[in-house]
Structure 1
Amino acid sequence: MKAEEIRLYAHRGACLRCPENSLEAFELALTHGANALEMDVHATSDGHFVVAHDADGARLAGDARPIQSLNLETVRGWRLDGHALVPTLDEVLEAFPGTPMSIDLKPRRPQLVQPFLETLNQRGAEEWVTVASFHHSVMLEVHRSGWTGRTALSRMEVVWLRILPEKLSGRMIRGQSAQIPIAAGPLRLDRSAFIDRCHRLGLRSDYWVINDPEEADRLLKLGATGLMSDDPELIAPVVAAHQKRRDRW
């Protein structure tokens, strides 16, 4: 009997080998062992969603102006690491339809939720996209909106999951996926008891950012359902080995 597929998310694509969050980075990741993509989005001043982690282009394009203050034409004029274009969200959805994705709406601006979800719905992406945001106010708006796809826990929900009694946290949490680091401040999240709690509550346990094969092996032995990595080619053999073991159970 085949077990549920372990997700290997390419964190911002294969971002150690290509400009992060570029179409090239996503394409390379999928050819090198990733079976899912992770990305971030911001909104331009004229209402387009672009795939970018930072709120401005200083680090990757040498332009410190905030994306929210610029129109799409200006942002499209940037060259990531000197050559790659900043893709729009719609371009990524069109390029990789059906590919599992986690898309993080970065701004703490709940008013962006409705147009963001409309972009996803126009592509039928509720079947394969998990909507994420650290900001609880943003995720509350996602849940109010009627989005029928998967959602990740906000940062606040992760804390509730870790520190509150299980029955209480289960009533308070709205998402289906715990996308988590190894630790959140003093709270360790890489323990079998925590992963088991996630699974009892029907939650995925997907860890970021895992670039060490030994760490990947340890987390998968604990029962993690997925990993996010900057270098999926390095982590893919570990995931494949664990998938074979789980399929035999």
Structure 2
Amino acid sequence: MTVPRVPPILFAHRGAMARERENTLPAFVLALRLGATGLESDAWVTADGVVVLDHDGVVGPRFRRRPIAQVPRSELPAHIPSLAELYASCGSDFELSLDVKDPAAFAPVVAAVRAGGDPSRTWLCHSSLPVVTGWRAQAGDVRLVDSTRVSRMEDGMRRRARTLAERGIDAINLHWLDWSPIYVDLAHEAGVHAFGWDAQSPSSIDRLLSTGVDALYGNHVDRLVAAAARLS
């Protein structure tokens, strides 16, 4: 049985992207200043092994774009921060959710987290359950998240939650429309945290909060903070 997180984590999706350029240090700094208790981004590794934060994972002009994995850190656009620079600017006293879309980047990301952050407050996400399951065998100190949709779960919510608990996966992340109080209870009964993403409008944030989820992801930090204050 998992004890619900009260208050839930308020993840600023790509930082305070409604006010600053997404996935930049100013966006991350502002998000925490506005009251976010967590930051979210996508993590990639450059050709020379530096973990950086960017959404698409590709850079360069149109028709000549290259994967970040093929580009050295020195050739990336200046606005793309490294994970080490995030810690230097923001510290590590917050929850950090990172989508690691390239499974090969997992080990370097974990190493960077251990070097500058707090593994116990770091949630590494992927949309493939087999991939996330394999990650647990590689690292026991970071948090792992199964990012999916109810429509993709052939086993159903009850069985999926139990499977995650058996495999040591810490949370399941669903679109806010997928969550209901019953589904949250099933996750908690199995010992898994319930995360909800894409909560943007005040009504969607309020609805998601009412289900009892442990974390919300949104672009509008002020709306997340205001809704959490109303709930409390």
The question of a shared fold, defined as TM-score above 0.5 by the shorter chain, is answered with yes
- C-alpha change, 1:5 and 1:168, in structure 2 (3 Å) is closer
Q: Secondary structure at the match of 2:146?
A: coil
Q: How far does residue 155 in structure 1 lie from its aligned partner after superposition? A: 3.5
Work out the CA distance in 2 between the residues paired with 1:192 and 1:121: 35
After superposition, the Cα gap between the structure-2 partners of 1:6 and 1:62, relative to the gap in structure 1 and judged at 3 Å, is: farther
Q: Is the 8 A contact 1:133 1:152 kept in 2?
A: yes
- Residue equivalent to 1:105: 100
Task: Please state whether the residue corresponding to 1:194 is helix, strand or coil.
Answer: helix
Aligned in 2, Cα 1:57/1:88: closer, same or farther, shift over 3 Å?
same
- Give the counterpart of 1:123 among 116, 119, 124: 116
Are 1:53 and 2:55 an aligned pair? Answer: yes
RMSD over aligned Cα atoms: 2.6
Task: String of CA shifts for 1:134-176, please: whole Å, max 9, x gaps.
Answer: 2334423321113312211253998266356478535654311
Q: TM-score, normalised by structure 1?
A: 0.80
Q: How does 1:216-235 map to 2 (within 5 A)?
A: 216-235=205-224
Superposed displacement of residue 112, structure 1: 2.7
Matched, 1:38 2:40: yes
Q: Partner residue of 2:176?
A: 182
Over 3 Å counting, the alpha-carbon distance change for 1:62 and 1:120 in structure 2 is farther
Q: Where do 5+ consecutive residues of structure 2 fail to align? A: none
- CA 1:140/1:51 → structure 2, altered by over 3 Å: closer, same or farther? same
- Determine what percentage of the aligned residue pairs are the same residue: 23
The alignment's TM-score, normalised by the length of structure 2, stands at: 0.86
Please report how far the alpha carbon of residue 237 of structure 1 lies from its aligned counterpart in structure 2 after TM superposition: 0.7
Displaced runs of 4 or more, over 3 A: 135-138, 154-158, 160-173
Whether 1:145 aligns to 2:128 is no
In structure 1, what residue type is equivalent to 2:138?
S
Count of aligned positions: 226
